[in-house]
Amino acid sequence: MRDVAIIGVGLTKCGEIWEKSLRDLYVEAALGAIKDSGVDHVDSMYVGCMSSGLFVGQEHLGALMADYLGQCPIPATRVESACASGGTAMRMGALDVASGQSDVVLVGGVEKMTDVGGDEATYALATAADQEWEGFNGATFPGLYAMMAIAHMHQYGTTSEQLAAVAVKNHDNGSRNPNAQFPAKISVDAVLNSVMVADPLHILDCSPITDGAAAVILCPADRAKELTKKTPIRILGVGHASDSIALHSRKNLAVLDGVARAADLAYTAAGKGPKDIDVCEVHDCFTIAEIMATEALGFFEQGKGGPGVEAGETSPGGRIPVNPSGGLKSKGHPVGATGVAQVIEIVEQLRGEAGERQVKNARVGMTQNMGGTGASSVVHILEAM
């Protein structure tokens, strides 16, 4: 198997993008990645997307995007793994290059979520849960993550103030991201006094509904410096795992076993451990998700993620900076694009191109992207070449 490098990135602004369609967003990101890389052709492409059929009535995205991008007849594949669709598409693209099947691969993710009303968007997102046991009985994702938060609070003493500290940190980071959907800074009091969605989660504990797209160009690592003038970023390790989709089937609601398994696989493949990671993007669809993810990734002992964020350990100047992009919470969460957008943030950090968000001396970075309540999880470890 060949080593794989990222040589180009492209990202749209995140938000309510009324003037552009699903295909427009994907093509904008894809063209940005192609231009950034400097390549003159693409051998194959992958499209991460969770639920375009429910959001905009469009399926068969592989062929659609290849056509609209002017890339027919290359092979083009749509990848779905709920909110981990983008991260899973990254893994599939990397495997395509590593196997020798393709030399230049375009991996993109896209979602157009604001063309439907709130009820329809909630229904579409709920399809990532267990429909027979959770969705049918009225459980939505705020409700499911609220149960996880309550379990974490009961077992470890995690507080609402610690949850709020995640949102405050990520909005502060997002205030320096020109592509962020909600770049405004907020306070702990603002979070605690915002509308309660599902106790203990307030509206400011929740990521937004977002339109957006992200794309990267992959190639064999030994050809990277031949193809691009920018600093190539090597994919050191990838981990992919699953867990019970329904919460009631899990041993412990306060632990993300699938994330921990994916992280272990990625660490082993990369020959790295938690202490080697300089910067990380995690899947903070809700504030409790970031706390639980940082524990599953090994940055904190189980139950210590809340005190860690409160103490500033995950802030830009802390021991392990988490979500310098603003995360899903501030940057936005176009679900099919999120896993690819996380990779782009780490690429820019490792290139030294993150501007005001730049983490000092960042050489090794990680992304953690998950679907549903952690039923699928993908972890990538990246290093500047």
- Residues with active-site annotation: 83, 333
Q: Could you write out the DSSP letters of every residue in 86-136?
A: HHHHHHHHHHHHHHTS-SSEEEEEEEE-TTS-HHHHHHHHHTTS-IIIIIT
Q: Is 265 helix (H, G, I), strand (E, B) or coil?
A: helix
Distance CA 184, CA 169 (A): 11
Q: What are phi and psi of 11, to 5 degrees?
A: -145, 135
Q: Is 198 helix (H, G, I), strand (E, B) or coil?
A: strand
Task: Return the H-helix or E-strand segment holding 218.
Answer: strand 211-220
Place of tokens 């080697």: 276
Q: Which residues contact 346 (CB under 8 A, 6 or more apart)?
A: 233, 279, 280, 281, 365, 366, 367, 380, 382
Distance CA 53, CA 124 (A): 9
Helix 160-174 to helix 287-296 angle (10° resolution) is 90
Helix 338-351 to helix 85-99 angle (10° resolution) is 60
The counts of H helices and E strands in the chain are 14, 11
| Total Cβ atoms within 10 A of residue 10 | 25
How distant, in Å, are the alpha carbons of 113, 261, 287 from that of 257? 29, 6, 18
- Cα Rg for the chain, rounded, in angstroms? 19
Looking only at the bridges linking them, the beta strands covering 196-198 and 201-202 are antiparallel
Q: Which residues contact 131 (CB under 8 A, 6 or more apart)?
A: none
Read off the tokens for 101.
């099947």
